[in-house]
């Protein structure tokens, strides 16, 4: 398999809109027409509940993990983080859902789960600490991205990881533009279960 084909495959994996699939098949609901309209775990939690939210979040994480593992599984000489980045792009702009996707958080995490389990676990910890304090999922996601950059810059010498983590964080901030405005205006929804 060529490098181009593996990147296309990673993009297609990332493009699988699990929130849309779970919503339509399991609940008869097009999640794009409810809540924030976002095809991600957070909107699924809000619209369809905990079970559906967990299924979508885990599936979105694992598609990033699977995409990053493709170079190893298919014996292609290409950096797994670079391949995983194409899955993240697929998640944000999925060909299977009119290029209207999620906000890159879970799938980005899944890529890191394959490449650096310690970073992934500490990211989860940072996310939930910020969530506990702020009650904002969006802020927790963005600050987890900031943490990832700080961690890779100061505690590793892994240049590809630094680059990909910085790109992932940039994607996350870009996709949360509206959330940033709502946080500043104090209109961003807070989680009620924590």
* DSSP track, 51-67: HHHHHHHHHHHHHHHHH
Tokens at 6, concatenated: 């593996």
The verdict on residue 83 lying in a domain is yes
pLDDT digits (tens, 9 = 90+) for 2-56: 999 999 999 999 999 999 999 999 999 999 999 888 899 999 999 999 999 999 9
Which of the four pLDDT bands, split at 50, 70 and 90, describes residue 193? confident
Tally the domains of the chain.
1
Instruction: Report which DSSP code applies to 33.
Output: G
**What single-letter DSSP state applies at residue 134?**
H
Q: Residue 38: inside a domain, yes or no?
A: yes
High-pLDDT (> 70) share of the chain, %:
99
Q: Identify the domain containing residue 157 by its residue range.
A: 3-185
pLDDT by residue (tens digit) across 111-154?
A: 999 999 999 999 999 999 999 999 999 999 999 999 999 999 99
**Is there a contact between 87 and 107 (Cβ–Cβ < 8 Å)?**
yes
CB-count exposure of residue 36 (10 Å: 0-12, 13-18, 19+): middle
Angle at 137 between CA 136 and CA 143, to 5 degrees: 90
Task: Give the angle 71-97-102 at the CA atoms, nearest 5°.
Answer: 70
Give domain status of residue 172, yes or no: yes
Whole-angstrom distance, CA of residue 99 vs CA of residue 140 = 25
CA–chain centroid gap for 190, Å, is 19
- Kindly state whether residue 46 falls inside one of the protein's structural domains: yes
Residue 193 lies in a domain: no
For residue 35, give Cα distances in angstroms to 30, 43, 47, 119, 131. Answer: 11, 6, 6, 31, 20
pTM, to two decimals: 0.94
Is 192 contained in some domain? no
């Amino acid at each position: 398999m060529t490098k181009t084909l593996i990147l296309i495959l990673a993009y297609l994996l990332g493009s699988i809109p699990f929130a849309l699939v779970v919503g339509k098949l399991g609940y008869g609901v097009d999640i794009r027409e409810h809540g924030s309209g976002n095809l991600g775990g957070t909107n699924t939690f809000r619209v369809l509940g905990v079970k559906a939210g967990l299924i979508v979040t885990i599936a979105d994480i694992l598609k990033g993990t699977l995409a990053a593992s493709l170079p190893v599984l298919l014996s292609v000489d290409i950096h797994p983080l670079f391949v995983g980045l194409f899955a993240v792009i697929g998640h944000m702009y999925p060909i299977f859902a009119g290029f209207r996707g999620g906000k890159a958080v879970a799938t980005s995490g899944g890529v890191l789960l394959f490449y650096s389990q310690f970073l992934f676990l500490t990211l989860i910890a940072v996310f939930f600490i910020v969530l506990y304090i702020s009650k904002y999922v969006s802020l927790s996601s963005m600050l987890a991205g900031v943490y990832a950059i700080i961690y890779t810059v100061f505690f590793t010498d892994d240049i590809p990881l630094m680059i990909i983590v910085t790109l992932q964080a940039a994607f996350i901030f870009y996709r949360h533009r509206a959330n940033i405005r709502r946080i500043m205006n104090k209109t961003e929804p807070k989680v009620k279960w924590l």
